[in-house]
Amino acid sequence: MKNKISPVQAYSLLFISRIVSTLTFVPPDLDAVGSDYVAAALIAPPLVLAASIMWLHLMSDGRTLIIRKVFFRNPKAEKSVRFIAVLYLLLVFTRNLSGLCVFAMSVLFEKVNAVVLLTVTAAAVIFVALSGIEAIARLGFFGSVATLLSLAFIVFSLTGRFDANNLQPLFLNGASKPVLLSLTVLSGTIEPFLLFLMRREVNDKIKKGFVWWWAAVFSVQILLTLCLYLGLGNVALRMFFPYHAMAELSRLSIARRMDSLLSTVWVLASFIKCALCLHLADNELKKISLGSSRVLTSVFTAVAFLISLLALNNIGVYRFVNNPNINAALNLPVILIVPIILNAVVKINLKREK
Amino acid sequence: MINLDKLLKKNAAENGRLNKSLAENEKRLRSLLSGCDDILFKSSMLSGINALFVCTDSMYSSLTSSIEVLGPILSSGFLPENSLTLIDYIALHTASDMEQKRLYSFNDVVLGILSGCVVLLVDGSDCCLCFGAQGFPKRAVSDAVSEVDELSAHEAFSESFKDNVALIRKRLHTHGLKISYLQIGTLSKTTVCVCYIDGIADAALVSSVKEKLGCIRVKALSGAGTVSEFLESGFHVFSSIGTTERPDTACAEMVEGRVVIITDGTPYAVIVPFLFSENFSTVDDYNLRPAYALTARIIKYLAFFISVLLPGIYVSLCAFHQEALPEAMLYDIAVQESITPFPVMLETLFIHFVYEIVREAGVRMPRTVGSAVSIVGGLVIGEAAVSAGLISAPMLIVVALSAITGFVVPKLYRNIALLRFSLIIISGFSGFYGITLFMCCVVCDMCRTGFMGIPITAPFSPFSLKSMRDTVIRRNWKKLSRSSFNIQQMER
């Protein structure tokens, strides 16, 4: 068994991860209008690409060797950095797991026991995560295809509600709100970091398709935002989950509402993202423990389970875990600051060597 | 090349060699085969030397042995008077048209006798001749039962492995077709044939299959199902090992680099490795125009999904997601369901359980009674249950539809039934959420299932555009013939 995945499979996983962030997007209280969101959808891709390219630079073996030489001469230091990565993954994992269960409890069935729901979901996630990166990646590929087809169907069935009057000129209220919104998107983009953690498990040529993939993902996202705006106008932004509202209004023939379909996509994508996070955490824990990581991974899962359980029973904890400001404060260093520092260190060392 | 004679001599040294004295050999054989009244011992005198023919009654062909063995020996004008040269003379000048070998040990002699061969022992010789004059009762080659096709050959494998090998040989006239025999089962010593095309099948795959077969330790090999279980690792919902009862399918699989295993006494062959998409293709697809084949395959894929998901989705819609149904349909279903005493999940489980009982009874009962069971099950129980208000009419439609669609892909029927039951229970507790989680786990299990690095989900994932030419779409033969497909291309 080679335990390697193809770039297409890796990008499928990242697509899933990105689509979860999009579908679970909650509009921040900015008094923004629909055109601000469409404008933000256009500004965000270049910003995210610029931030991603820094991680992409760090993915070559030579550069990781320099980073190891500079930062990780001491094995303890390396373990500490890996531990921080695990903690970050714990946050992402917990956020997704609790989000998935809260969604299930609030939208699908209100009377279900939180412990049972969380236990079943966590068990399924563990089963998939421990099946190995190949199984997760293949599942991710099937998930991506299913997600794309479902979204295309939902958008198609919304076309009857498209109204050109909903369109407003871009930047009608100035550029500040779209820029702030696009920064929110940037702070929620953890995919380059996930790709960095996955790099050893992906075959070659991973860098080659990166820009094309990124363009494709953001095209889908821009198209979705545009359809949302065309179909629902400014009303969409008053909804807790705008994309869910979009699916509720979609109808085609005897299918009256598409929210069940979107819920399925949502659950599928969130589930795969959770499994990917757990798998990556397990990988890092293996490197920390220099061998079997069963105990550490069990502790990781137990902590995530407990936090999620607390979040399900206490809305304050849930809000804290999913607080956009806290998330932005934690995500931005990962997306921007860490790669900037590491790239600078690499460059300085390369110059010194010359 | 392995020298069979040397191997048998070595075997003899380890397992008790034959004596030169015929009397002692006969005594030992009679003692080994004591209590076996069907063993025939026939003493004879050949050119003044005592000889003994041993065979198993009803396992050998009296006609073949008369014409091919006894006739030439008895009608020979000259027979050497020395026992050693007598054996050589008979081996060279008589019975030339049939399989024969020299045996040196009691174990081999007993095995030969019990396999239906006629064994000739001669006084003064420490080896004997074994003639392949088997003639045990067997079923003739008949029509395929479970893989019925309209436009292709109707021949199917039978229980006789020699006939099965012949059915393959007559379709593939190439010296590249290799057929290796193995014997499995400490008591049954069942013959298992490993068939592959040298130069097309991956050598590592062939040796891995042989190695795994060689590791099987059972007393009696009951059939190809046991072989499949030993080849597979762990339990998976869908198998990486396929079966076929059609020799043309087996040949087509070998042409694509797969290994076919034929087990004596089993009327179907095992194919390794086997992809999930192959469950949906039939030989007819290749005899029809591509457009018709495409339509047939799309119908099969849809039928598979309907059969697996429809009961679960119905339960979910009724129990949790009523908003997804149009008002008129929702009203009709609600009215129908309100008169039934059970919750919708129990009702679905109950009616599926009844259906599976009827199906199982129909399969196991004698054919003449089987149709009566179907009528009783279908009309009486179904109609009466609806009239009595035990089940609703929409439920009956759902069950009937999922049952019929399940038969469109017969190779997957058992998997479908298992998934259907699981999904009914899960959807009864957690609706679409549970269905999604469960299907994720099933797909993940499929994704990790494979044989020798070839995943069953290929060529969908890992995606291979080149190999997609014969999955859902079947391209025309002109395009298919331009480049040959090999299963090794699917290796991850």
Rg of chain B in Å (alpha carbons): 29
Q: Residue B315: what residue type?
A: V
Whether the Cβ atoms of residue B169 and residue B178 lie closer than 8 Å to each other: no
Q: Which residue has the higher pLDDT, B464 or A299?
A: A299
Please indicate if any CB of chain A lies within 8 Å of the CB of B431.
Answer: yes
Q: Which CATH class is domain A7-353?
A: mainly alpha
Chain B environment of A256 (Cβ under 8 Å): 323-326
> Which of A30-44, A73-87, B86-100, B190-204 reaches the highest mean pLDDT?
B190-204
pLDDT digits (tens, 9 = 90+) for B151-170: 888 889 998 888 899 999 98
Task: Please give the interface size between A and B, counted as residue pairs whose CB atoms are below 8 Å apart.
Answer: 106
Measured CA to CA, the distance from residue A274 to residue A266 in angstroms comes to 12
Residue B2 pLDDT exceeds 60:
no
Please tell me the distance in Å from B35's CA to the nearest CA on chain A.
53
Domain ranges of chain A: 7-353
Measured CA to CA, the distance from residue A180 to residue A337 in angstroms comes to 18
Cis amide bond preceding B459, omega within 30: yes
Residue B13 pLDDT exceeds 70:
no
Please tell me the distance in Å from A132's CA to the nearest CA on chain B.
8
Query: Please, what is the Cα angle at A49 between A45 and A51, to 5 degrees?
Result: 120
Q: Which residue has the higher pLDDT, B380 or B290?
A: B290
Residue A27 pLDDT exceeds 80:
no
> Which of A27-36, B202-211, B279-288, B453-462 reaches the highest mean pLDDT?
B202-211
CA-based nearest residue in chain A for residue B438 = A124
Residue B1 pLDDT exceeds 60:
no
Residues 6 or more apart in contact with residue B133 via CB below 8 angstroms: B55, B60, B61, B64, B65, B68, B69, B98, B116, B117, B118
Chain B environment of A128 (Cβ under 8 Å): 440-441, 444
Please indicate if any CB of chain A lies within 8 Å of the CB of B138.
Answer: no
Whether the Cβ atoms of residue B430 and residue B315 lie closer than 8 Å to each other: no
Tokens 């018709």 locate to B292
Mean pLDDT lowest among A275-284, B81-90, B118-127: B81-90
Nearest to B440 among A137, A259, A271 (CB): A271
Measured CA to CA, the distance from residue A162 to residue A155 in angstroms comes to 10
CA-based nearest residue in chain B for residue A110 = B320
Q: For testing the chain A interface, which of B238, B305, B444 should be mutated: the one with the most A CBs within 10 Å?
A: B444
Residue B4 pLDDT exceeds 70:
no
Mean per-residue pLDDT over chain A, rounded:
84
Percent of chain B with pLDDT over 90: 34
Measured CA to CA, the distance from residue A55 to residue A63 in angstroms comes to 11
Mean pLDDT of B367-375: 71
Q: Kindly indicate the confidence band of residue B97, based on its pLDDT and cuts at 50, 70 and 90.
A: low
Helix, strand, or coil (residue B451): strand
Strand order in the sheet with B100-103: B39-46, B49-56, B118-122, B128-131, B100-103
Q: Kindly indicate the confidence band of residue B7, based on its pLDDT and cuts at 50, 70 and 90.
A: low
pLDDT digits (tens, 9 = 90+) for A306-341: 999 898 888 888 888 888 788 888 888 888 888 888
Distances B76 to B45, B94, B95, B121, B123 between C-alpha atoms, Å: 13, 9, 12, 18, 19
Q: What is the pLDDT of residue A1?
A: 42
Nearest to A124 among B321, B431, B437 (CB): B437
pLDDT digits (tens, 9 = 90+) for B421-433: 999 999 998 888 8
DSSP string, B11-68: HHHHH-BPPS-HHHHHHHHHHHTTT-TTEEEEEEEETTEEEEEEEETTTB-HHHIIII
Q: Which residue has the higher pLDDT, A107 or B50?
A: B50
Q: Do A256 and B457 touch (CB under 8 A)?
A: no
Q: Which residue has the higher pLDDT, A155 or A111?
A: A155
DSSP string, B81-139: SSHHHHHHHHHHHSSTTS-EEEE-BHHHHHHHHHTT-EEEEETT-S-EEEE--B----P
Q: Which residue has the higher pLDDT, A28 or B427?
A: B427
Query: Please, what is the Cα angle at B227 between B224 and B232, to 5 degrees?
Result: 125
Q: Which residue has the higher pLDDT, B300 or B375?
A: B300
Q: Do A134 and B453 touch (CB under 8 A)?
A: no
Residue B475 pLDDT exceeds 90:
no
Measured CA to CA, the distance from residue B196 to residue B487 in angstroms comes to 13
Whether the Cβ atoms of residue B73 and residue B46 lie closer than 8 Å to each other: yes
Residue A291 pLDDT exceeds 80:
no
Measured CA to CA, the distance from residue B432 to residue B317 in angstroms comes to 8
Rg of chain A in Å (alpha carbons): 21
Mean pLDDT of B414-422: 94
* Token pair of A253 as six digits: 């023939």
Assign 3-state DSSP to chain A and report helix, strand, coil percentages, each to 5: 80, 0, 20
Residue B16 pLDDT exceeds 50:
yes
Q: Do A6 and B462 touch (CB under 8 A)?
A: yes
DSSP tag of B220: S
Measured between alpha carbons, how far apart are the two ends of chain B, in Å?
A: 34
Mean per-residue pLDDT over chain B, rounded:
86
Q: Do A139 and B444 touch (CB under 8 A)?
A: yes
Residue B243 pLDDT exceeds 90:
yes
Whether the Cβ atoms of residue A343 and residue A58 lie closer than 8 Å to each other: yes
Q: What is the pLDDT of residue B268?
A: 92
* Token pair of A163 as six digits: 């109204």
Q: Kindly indicate the confidence band of residue B267, based on its pLDDT and cuts at 50, 70 and 90.
A: very high
Q: What is the pLDDT of residue B26?
A: 92
Assign 3-state DSSP to chain B and report helix, strand, coil percentages, each to 5: 50, 15, 35
> Which of A255-264, A326-335, B32-41, B270-279 reaches the highest mean pLDDT?
B270-279
Residue B298 pLDDT exceeds 90:
yes
Mean pLDDT lowest among A2-6, A158-162, B13-17, B120-124: B13-17
Q: What is the pLDDT of residue A212?
A: 85
Residues on A contacting B at a C-beta cutoff of 8 Å: 1-2, 4-6, 8-9, 104, 108-109, 112, 117, 120-121, 124, 127-128, 131-132, 134-139, 141-143, 254-257, 259-260, 263-264, 267-268, 271-272, 275
Q: Kindly indicate the confidence band of residue A13, based on its pLDDT and cuts at 50, 70 and 90.
A: very high
Q: Which residue has the higher pLDDT, B238 or A354?
A: B238
Q: What is the pLDDT of residue B99?
A: 79
Residue B343 pLDDT exceeds 80:
yes
pLDDT digits (tens, 9 = 90+) for B198-234: 989 999 999 999 999 999 999 998 888 889 999 988 8
Measured CA to CA, the distance from residue A48 to residue A191 in angstroms comes to 10
Q: For testing the chain A interface, which of B305, B318, B461 should be mutated: the one with the most A CBs within 10 Å?
A: B461
Q: What is the pLDDT of residue A34?
A: 78
Please report how the helices A7-23 and A133-158 are oriented relative to each other, as an axis angle in degrees rounded to 10.
50
Residue B10 pLDDT exceeds 50:
yes
